[in-house]
């Protein structure tokens, strides 16, 4: 009986601790847009960005890994991918330029020497 009770208490503490770390995604009206903050299971921010009132991605979006490091910076214009997006992957940075939601250009840099490694769509 003591072992069962100890197991129950241990599981309760683990469950309670996890519940304290996990945050619910937040959506806040901000004029004509809705600001979104999405979270990883560990409570760290996963993404921030905006939606239109019609639930379409709009404006700047930033993605983060579970440790809080930036993994991507993007821009939408009423659901279309626009402008230059940056993707951070280990020792490299990819710069992807969009036109009409299509990839127009991709550049990749090595973080250690900042030279362009490739330049192809």
Q: Which domains does the chain have, with CATH numbers?
A: 24-119 (2.20.110.10)
pLDDT one-digit tens code per residue, 8-26: 434 444 344 444 456 899 9
What is the C-alpha to C-alpha distance for residues 104 and 28, in angstroms, rounded to an integer?
33
What pTM value is reported for the model?
0.72
pLDDT at 51: 94
Q: Residue 71: which of 84, 90, 98 has the closest Cα?
A: 90
DSSP one-letter string for 51-90: EETTS-EEEEEEEE-TTS-EEEEEEEETTEE-EEEEEEET
pLDDT one-digit tens code per residue, 73-111: 999 999 999 999 999 998 899 999 999 889 999 999 887
pLDDT at 14: 39
What is the C-alpha to C-alpha distance for residues 71 and 78, in angstroms, rounded to an integer?
22
The β-bridge relationship of strands 33-39 and 45-52 is: antiparallel
């Amino acid at each position: 009986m003591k072992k069962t009770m100890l197991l129950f208490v241990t599981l309760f503490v683990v469950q309670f601790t996890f519940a304290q770390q996990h945050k619910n995604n937040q959506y806040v009206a901000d004029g004509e847009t809705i600001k979104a903050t999405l979270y990883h299971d560990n409570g760290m921010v996963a993404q921030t960005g905006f939606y239109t009132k019609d639930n379409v991605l709009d404006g700047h979006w930033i993605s983060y890994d579970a440790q809080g490091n930036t993994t991507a910076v993007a821009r939408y214009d009423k659901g279309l991918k626009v402008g230059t997006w940056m993707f951070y992957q280990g020792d490299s940075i990819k710069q992807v330029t969009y036109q009409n939601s299509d990839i127009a250009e991709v550049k990749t840099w090595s973080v250690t020497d900042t030279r362009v490694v490739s330049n192809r769509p």
